[in-house]
Structure 1
């Protein structure tokens, strides 16, 4: 049975449609936020987190926003390269698109850094 998206996830996906082909895909008990096939955000417990890197992280820190953290059994919490989106985006489309673009930019930069996979010779 397919996992049903929350109203919050549906709302954010609709809010960001002016960016292009935006969708959410189920993953690990939450949802990934994608533009085309590139993940630039994630939803956990009805909180949106956007992709960060060295170039954009300070924007989130300046707004006193924290990273997405998860705990592994018997280990210290792990911070991922996603920071909470500011609350101002939920009632302001311009702000929503601005912050989503910041997260998408980090995802694009990361994608460019990844080495291309080579095809196996058969």
Structure 2
């Protein structure tokens, strides 16, 4: 693990405990079991979605991309602004926003799973009542 990850963890210690796990040549940063950031090649990328993405776009920041089968694939993790490395208050604000985005995504997936289970259960009930 590079010195960059402990630096980011220390930067965020006023906000919350952050753990790091190796993944795909980089690291995922987690808080309360949710990955809210990735570190690839000494760059920090924060989770972004429709609610907080405009903040990244307004600063001209870009998503993390990688090449797959000759095409660039963009992930929902965007470059962190340089300002967060100068002020821990800014780092905390951006980390909270990224974690909230990760939480919204997690909750949306859980709700979708529940809807799919309910739909499947309805189909089973409908079939059994026909018998």
* Gapped regions of structure 2 (runs ≥ 5): 118-131
The DSSP-based 3-state class of the residue aligned with 2:50 is coil
Q: Distance in 2 between matches of 1:37 and 1:30?
A: 18
TM-score, normalised via structure 1 length: 0.88
Alignment-derived partner of residue 2 in structure 2: 6
Cα distance in 1 for residues equivalent to 2:6 and 2:17: 14
Greater Rg over alpha carbons, structure: 2
Runs of 4+ residues over 4 Å off in structure 1: none
1:108 to 103, 106, 112: 103
Structure 1 residues 38-78: Cα deviation after superposition (integer angstroms, max 9, x where no partner): 00000000000000111110000001100000011x32100
- TM-score using structure 2 length: 0.82
Task: Extract unaligned runs of 5+ from structure 1.
Answer: none
* Residue correspondences, number: 113
Comparing both structures, which one devotes a greater share of its residues to helix? 2
Distance, in Å, in 1 between the alignment partners of 2:26 and 2:39 is 6
Q: Are residue 51 (structure 1) and residue 47 (structure 2) matched? A: yes
Q: Which residue of 2 aligns with 1:62?
A: 58
